[in-house]
Amino acid sequence: MTGDDLSFASAGSIADAIKARKLSPVEVMEHFIKRIEERNPSLNAVVHLAPEEGRKAAKAAEQAVMAGKMLGPLHGVPVAIKDLFDFKPGWPATLGGIRALKDFKPNLTCPFAERIEQRGGAIIIGKTNSPIMGYRGITDNYLFGPTGNPFDTKKNPGGSSGGSAAAVADGLFPLAEGTDGGGSIRIPASWCGVYGYKAAFGRLPQWSRPNAFQAETPFIFEGPITRTVRDAALALSALAGYDPRDPFALDETVDFLGAVERPIKGMRIAYSPNFDVFPVESEVAETVRKAVEALREAGAVVSDVKLGIKRSHMELADLWCKIIMPLNVASIAGMKAAGYDLIATTCRPNISIGMTATKT
């Protein structure tokens, strides 16, 4: 497995090859570091790369294989976390390209980073681009600039997890972290043609996030962005599960791989074409309709349902913003107390937000 075969291989197949000693974690790491260095200048999806940390971790991963140790489901697989409310000790954390935080390097580890490495065996080697505070459906900011869509770098990959989606779509990583408060996994996954999974509230524990989206709000989620559904299931097998640091973490075990492999026949599925009030473009509606018919043909029992939602899509969106914004204001106040006055350091933008990336 070399070249594009490795770049676009699934995370699961790479991990399996490493466990079978058909691939070396060191060789895998070198391949993806080179891929990122070659492709990222035109894509701008990765805003922080730690190649030497990756190489050191890959050597340790290879030693573990050779010693016959127990290996995680993603052992030796290079992955990325999102540069939003996601941390590794000593790594820059700009909360989505806030210029005042360009040198902010907290001594924190986020749940995704902790579990994907310690339980999954993956190796985090980079952070991906995000809009400021994750508060846009596209990915650009004044610190790092815009991320390009790998299918046309003059266009945007969506947001706010656009850096992760673009990196996975372009073969820079087989798996990357996404976060979602209002579409931030789902939008870029659809725009980049990858698979994004927004896990249910409490499925992936949340803690150590000094920001607006605290665990008590039901609007913040984490989940993997991958190229296959099975890879997402592998990631969830490492990420999900109870954690005493999150009082809302679900205390139950789920067989995610088993769920992927179970037959469709006999499944009961409730289907709403628009959740009663949401505007859906005709092309999108037709694509979803065809998928529903494919499920019916495969033996699923699909029932068309009404949810009883009375408020309009715009009213609901306005309500979401009104709930989230006071929390963002509180977050800004918290950063000021820590010595980072984001309001005082905000100045007139001196760069264009337009696309400047060259075509890959």
> b or e along 75-112 (b: 16 or more beta carbons within 10 Å of the residue's beta carbon)?
bbbbbbbbbbbbbbeebbbbbbbbbbbeebebebbbbb
Structure tokens at 93: 């954390």
Task: Residue 354: name the closest of 91, 128, 35, 140 by CA.
Answer: 140
Catalytic residues: 82, 160, 184
Q: Across the beta sheet with 123-128, what order do the strands follow?
A: 46-49, 123-128, 78-82, 175-180, 221-226, 195-196
CA–CA gap between residue 226 and residue 195 (Å, rounded) = 5
Structure tokens at 29: 């790491």
> From residue 303, how far is each of 284, 289, 293 by CA, in Å?
19, 13, 11
Task: Residue 248: name the closest of 223, 224, 219 by CA.
Answer: 219
Contact 125, 78 (CB under 8 A): yes
Beta bridge partners of 196: 225
- SS3 of 320, please? helix
Q: Which residues have CB under 8 Å from 255's CB, separation 6+?
A: none
DSSP letter at 101? G
Count helices and strands (H / E) in the chain: 11, 8
CA–CA gap between residue 51 and residue 184 (Å, rounded) = 27
